[in-house]
Amino acid sequence: MSEYRLIEEYRRQLGRYTLEQLRQVPEAGVWSLGQMYDHLIAVAHEYLDHVEACSAAEAQQPLGKTTAGEEAFRTGGFPPVKIPLPDSMNRADNPDSIASLDERLRQVISRMRELEGRALGANIHGKVEHGGFGWLNAQEWHALIGMHFRHHLRQKLELEERLGLQ
């Protein structure tokens, strides 16, 4: 499934939930569905910022991916494990409305489409460092968005089960 279709599916799935379900925190230390959506959207925009930075980079970065990065791009996805985030990155907001989440997902898709051509045409040596995957170019940052959304499908299913939606 293309990353665009995947994000559209996340949008479609919003119709299954009430705002209360989206905001329900199942237990301490576990995000609500709405917080997970917020995280996905925020990270997608962060990755798109990196697409822009790589596209504009004049310096050539000779360093490449870490072993984890090589594996992620070889397999087309993040490892199938929960990845702990540092406290500074482990913040996500509950949504004010379902409509706002839907609009924010639409903005992600629009921005991805807008930057896709730039990513494809960017110098592959213009890179920005990812904390776990090493130095990635514009095309890789763009691809990482879909990989990140796919990575959270398991978490989404677990949260839906807790809500009795499965």
Q: With 70 as the cut, is the pLDDT of residue 87 above it?
A: no
pLDDT, residue 1, reads 57
Q: Which domains does the chain have, with CATH numbers?
A: 3-162 (1.20.120.450)
Query: How far, in Å, are 13, 39, 82, 141 from residue 58 at the CA level?
Result: 41, 30, 36, 17
Query: How far, in Å, are 71, 83, 110, 155 from residue 37 at the CA level?
Result: 26, 16, 17, 11
Q: Comparing 104 with 88, which gets the higher pLDDT?
A: 104
Q: How confident is the model over 68-85, as a mean pLDDT?
A: 84
Mean of all residue pLDDT scores within the chain: 92
Per mean pLDDT, which range of 57-71, 110-124, 143-157 is the poorest?
57-71
SS3 category, 56: helix
Q: pLDDT band at 80, cuts 50/70/90?
A: confident
pTM of the predicted structure, to 2 decimals:
0.93
Taking alpha carbons only, the member of 75, 86, 73, 89 closest to residue 144 is 73
Q: With 90 as the cut, is the pLDDT of residue 28 above it?
A: no
Percentage of residues in the chain having pLDDT higher than 90: 78
The token duo for 54 is 């790589």
Phi, psi of 96 (to 5 degrees): -80, -30
Total Cβ atoms within 10 A of residue 135 = 18
Strand ranges inside the chain, DSSP E: 127-130, 134-137
The token duo for 27 is 């237990």
134-148 pLDDT, tens digit each? 999 999 999 999 999
pLDDT, residue 159, reads 93
The token duo for 17 is 């939930």
